[in-house]
């Protein structure tokens, strides 16, 4: 199944970084407003003793913790406008970094309030405070499990279900915040402000996690139509459905796929589209690396699919220059293969695998290159082929690939050979394995 390569889109007029700057401004403004409530509620010169200073610090840390908790839930709400504006990777980084600050702020709140009152027995006088202690215990437990050394040894499924318990933190802390929070008492602005924050975050969570996915799947009725072996331990799954031309997905994006069959229905995993949406079918390509992906390789046509998305901003309109250099390794070729359909002539793909047999989509890549520019094609390189050891646009790649210095470069593959920072990128090296260079323009050096 192949689709004719469309013409590459023009560059977007707006800078995607603008959305992130706006989000950062709104985040700090809302946080400052939350803390300002304490300032407005505290009479001048009322904080004089050591105990009062500790209690004031405890209240401030509590309000910061409550706000960061809401921000954490919002970041992972999967609401479309936030993912399109920020990008899934940026949201994940924010979520991970804020998690550490949240744990510290909550523990600081507990310790400062306890020491400030001078008696821990005062902290367990109501049911709402007891529920807050339970929420703190859950939060600390999840924070410990998020340590990388521990996280690596946990199965994905175990981490996923443990992470779901964080929603209990929001529920358990709500009562304590509104019942015992001095700044939220009565019908003052503070109470209405925090009520609006909770309503906004819960609304986004309900829409992004429940309502939008339900609407998408009821509208499109996705189903597996075919499963094809692409390479050793690599399969492509073709998805059909109704009204697919109305599915607002772009090449380079991904869905979270849940296959409603035995062994697969209870978990959803993100997989990128490996072909640009064409209104007839969707395709994802999966490398078999565990029990779940092994079950996916055994799927049969007719299995119902529940998808969430599309997500991600790895799309053609986000590039900063007209030309593009795409570097992929192993199964990372899947989004690159799809994105190539949306990019213009002059695009270069460097694809590396451990052996010739593991070069997935080689024929499709060569076909795309030939369709776009007759006379163009590909060349392959082995471990003995001379080549640059790094792929810095200003160094190695530029000497081998004349258009690299004037192209947007994107890597997809193992971090071991293609980390985020250019200074350590070894994606163009040929010390082992096999590589393929696809030139999509016969006038390559212009």
Which residue, among 357, 375, 372, has the nearest Cα to 436 in the 3D structure? 357
Task: Please check whether residues 302 and 329 belong to one and the same domain.
Answer: no
Task: Please check whether residues 194 and 107 belong to one and the same domain.
Answer: yes
In a domain, 56, yes or no: yes
CA 276/CA 436 separation, integer angstroms: 21
* Lowest mean per-residue pLDDT among 62-71, 153-162, 192-201: 153-162
Residue found under tokens 């890597």: 411
In a domain, 1, yes or no: no
CA 199/CA 201 separation, integer angstroms: 6
pLDDT exceeds cutoff 50 at 381 = no
In a domain, 307, yes or no: yes
CA 388/CA 29 separation, integer angstroms: 47
The whole-model pTM stands at 0.75
Residue found under tokens 């050096």: 445
In a domain, 263, yes or no: yes
pLDDT, greater one: 49 or 177: 49
Task: Please check whether residues 23 and 166 belong to one and the same domain.
Answer: yes
What pLDDT shows up at residue 340?
87
In a domain, 302, yes or no: yes
Cβ atoms within 10 Å of 55's Cβ, excluding its own:
18
Which residue, among 63, 66, 64, 87, has the nearest Cα to 75 in the 3D structure? 87
* Lowest mean per-residue pLDDT among 113-117, 195-199, 271-275, 403-407: 403-407
Q: What is the pLDDT of residues 293-344, one digit of tens each?
A: 899 999 999 999 999 989 888 888 887 777 788 888 878 888 999 988 888 8
Rg (CA), the chain: 26
CATH of the domain at 228: 2.40.30.10
Task: Please check whether residues 337 and 251 belong to one and the same domain.
Answer: no
Mean residue pLDDT across the chain: 77
Average pLDDT over residues 183-207: 85
* Lowest mean per-residue pLDDT among 153-157, 282-286, 326-330, 359-363: 153-157
Range of the domain at 398: 316-439
pLDDT exceeds cutoff 70 at 290 = yes
**Parallel, antiparallel or unpaired: strands 407-412 and 323-329:** parallel
In a domain, 68, yes or no: yes
* Lowest mean per-residue pLDDT among 66-70, 81-85, 256-260, 306-310: 81-85
Task: Please check whether residues 134 and 38 belong to one and the same domain.
Answer: yes
188, 210, 232 - which closes a domain = 210
Task: Please check whether residues 299 and 332 belong to one and the same domain.
Answer: no
What pLDDT shows up at residue 87?
82
pLDDT, greater one: 199 or 129: 199
CA angle 199, 203, 209 (to 5 degrees): 145
What pLDDT shows up at residue 150?
82
Task: Please check whether residues 257 and 148 belong to one and the same domain.
Answer: no
pLDDT exceeds cutoff 70 at 12 = no
Which pair of tokens denotes residue 136? Answer: 């703190």
Task: Please check whether residues 375 and 304 belong to one and the same domain.
Answer: no
- Confidence grade of residue 161 (pLDDT, cut at 50, 70, 90): confident
Task: Please check whether residues 62 and 199 belong to one and the same domain.
Answer: yes
In a domain, 2, yes or no: no
pLDDT exceeds cutoff 70 at 227 = yes
In a domain, 3, yes or no: no
Task: Please check whether residues 200 and 165 belong to one and the same domain.
Answer: yes
CB 339 within 8 A of CB 326: yes
The total number of structural domains in the chain stands at 3
What pLDDT shows up at residue 209?
92
CA 402/CA 407 separation, integer angstroms: 10
CA dist 95 to 72, 80, 89, 92, 206, Å?
6, 17, 10, 5, 18
Which pair of tokens denotes residue 150? Answer: 């521990």
What pLDDT shows up at residue 134?
83
- Confidence grade of residue 192 (pLDDT, cut at 50, 70, 90): confident
Task: Please check whether residues 420 and 351 belong to one and the same domain.
Answer: yes
pLDDT exceeds cutoff 50 at 267 = yes
- Confidence grade of residue 211 (pLDDT, cut at 50, 70, 90): very high
Judge if the upstream peptide bond of residue 310 is cis by omega within 30 degrees of 0.
yes
Average pLDDT over residues 73-96: 87
152, 181, 210 - which closes a domain = 210
Which pair of tokens denotes residue 175? Answer: 């009562």
183, 210, 237 - which closes a domain = 210
Classify residue 255 by its DSSP letter: E
Average pLDDT over residues 384-392: 38
pLDDT exceeds cutoff 90 at 281 = yes
Instruction: Read off φ and ψ for residue 226, nearest 5 degrees.
Output: -165, 145
CA dist 210 to 204, 214, 244, Å?
10, 6, 21
Average pLDDT over residues 139-168: 79
What dihedral angle (degrees, nearest 10) is formed by the CA atoms of 90, 92, 93, 99?
Answer: 140
Task: Please check whether residues 362 and 381 belong to one and the same domain.
Answer: yes
């Amino acid at each position: 199944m192949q689709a004719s390569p469309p013409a590459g889109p023009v560059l977007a007029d707006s800078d995607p970084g603008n959305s992130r700057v706006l989000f950062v401004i709104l985040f700090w403004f809302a946080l400052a407003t939350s803390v300002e409530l304490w300032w407005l509620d505290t009479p001048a010169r009322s904080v004089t003793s050591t105990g009062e200073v500790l209690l004031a610090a405890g209240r401030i840390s509590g309000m910061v913790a409550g706000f960061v908790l809401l921000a954490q839930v919002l970041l992972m709400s999967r609401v479309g406008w936030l993912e399109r504006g920020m990008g899934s990777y940026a949201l994940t980084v924010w979520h991970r970094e804020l998690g550490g600050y949240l744990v510290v702020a909550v523990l600081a709140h507990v310790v400062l309030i306890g020491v400030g009152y001078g008696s821990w027995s005062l902290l367990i006088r109501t049911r709402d405070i007891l529920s807050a202690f339970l929420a703190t215990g859950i939060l600390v437990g999840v924070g410990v499990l998020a340590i990388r050394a521990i996280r690596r040894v946990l199965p994905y499924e175990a981490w996923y279900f443990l992470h779901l318990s964080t929603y209990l933190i929001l529920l358990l802390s709500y009562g304590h915040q509104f019942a015992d929070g001095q700044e939220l008492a009565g019908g003052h602005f503070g109470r209405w402000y925090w009520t609006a924050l909770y309503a906004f975050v819960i609304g986004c969570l309900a829409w992004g996690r429940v309502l939008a996915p339900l609407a998408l799947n009821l509208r499109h009725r996705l189903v597996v139509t075919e499963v094809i072996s692409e390479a050793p331990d690599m399969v492509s799954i073709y998805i059909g459905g109704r009204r697919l031309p109305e599915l607002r997905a772009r090449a380079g994006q991904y869905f979270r796929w849940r296959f409603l069959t035995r062994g697969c229905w209870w978990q959803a995993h993100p997989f990128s589209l490996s072909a640009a949406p064409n209104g007839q079918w969707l395709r994802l390509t999966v490398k078999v690396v565990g029990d779940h992906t092994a079950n996916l390789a055994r799927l049969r046509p007719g299995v119902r699919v529940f998808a969430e998305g599309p997500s991600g901003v790895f799309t053609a309109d986000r590039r900063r220059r007209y030309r593009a250099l795409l570097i992929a390794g192993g199964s990372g070729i899947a989004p690159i293969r799809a994105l190539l359909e949306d990019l213009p002539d002059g695009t270069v793909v460097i694809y590396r695998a451990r052996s010739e047999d593991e070069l997935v989509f080689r024929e499709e890549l060569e076909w795309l290159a030939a369709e776009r520019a007759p006379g163009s094609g590909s060349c392959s390189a082995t471990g003995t082929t001379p080549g640059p050891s790094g792929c810095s646009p200003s160094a190695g790649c530029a000497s081998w690939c004349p258009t690299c210095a004037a192209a947007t470069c994107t890597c997809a593959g193992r971090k071991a050979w293609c980390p985020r920072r250019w200074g350590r990128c070894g994606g163009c090296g040929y010390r082992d394995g096999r590589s393929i260079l696809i030139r999509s323009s016969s006038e390559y050096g212009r």
